[in-house]
Structures are given as C-alpha cells and as structure tokens.
Amino acid sequence: MTEDCIFCKIIKGDIPAKIAYRDDFTVAFYDINPQAPHHLIIIPHKHIETLNDLHEDDSELIGHMTQTAIKLAKQLNIAEEGYRLVINCNADAGQSVFHIHAHLLGGRRLQWPPG
C-alpha cells in the first residue's frame, strides 16, 4: 500500500469502485471513464509503479493478471468476438495512474493503430 495511490485505496476499500473480481493477487474493477462497452482495470495487490519497475520474480504476477483478464473476457462473453488487453507505460503511452494496471476493453470493434 502506498499512501496516495488511488488504486491501492481501491484495493483497501477506501475509495469505492465496482469490483468485478478479486483474489489473493489481483483485483479487477470497472473503469470510471469507460472507453468501450466493457472496460475493466486489472491490478495486482502489489504496488508496482510502471512496467519498467517489474522484477523478474514478478513474472508470475503478470501471468496471473493475464489469466484474470482471460477469465473475465470469458465471463463477459467477449472472448470469441475479441478484446484488447493494454498496459500503458509512462507519459507517451498516456499512463495516468502509477500503479501498474491492465485495461481489458471489448464489446465493440476497436481501432488499430490506437490513437
């Protein structure tokens, strides 16, 4: 837990969020400003600021986040139609919350390349 991190606060329940899934390693909740009919944020409990701060022994954690995303995509019935899993890193990618997170986006035809 890092004092002024909004995602750490969501994990703790100090900030309300619509939680879709929680286990010992990850939490998934609905994005407050959805960019697609289905837009969830998947985070690890562990506060890691950016992709650049991942250690080798965090590999299992990232694998677990991916498995969580796949599970949710299946539950949301978007697994077959398709979806996107995105991790933004730092300014050029538009990262605005510095607690690593994956966006799960689906439910519409997504553009490529992204803006």
Catalytic residue numbers? Answer: 101
Among 38, 99, 101, 103, binds Zn ion (CB under 5 A): 99
DSSP sequence for 28-97: EEE-SS-SSSEEEEEEESS---SGGG--GGGHHHHHHHHHHHHHHHHHTT-TTT-EEEE---HHHHT--S
CB of 57 to Zn ion, least distance (A): 18
Tell me whether residue 33 or residue 111 sits nearer to ligand AMP (CB atom): 33
Closest approach of Cβ 99 to Zn ion, in Å?
Answer: 3
Stretch that binds ligand AMP, among 20-28, 48-56, 74-82, 87-95 (CB under 6 A): 87-95
Residue 78: contacted member of Zn ion, ligand AMP, none (CB under 5 to 8 Å, by partner type): none
Strand-pairing partners, residue 43, are: 27
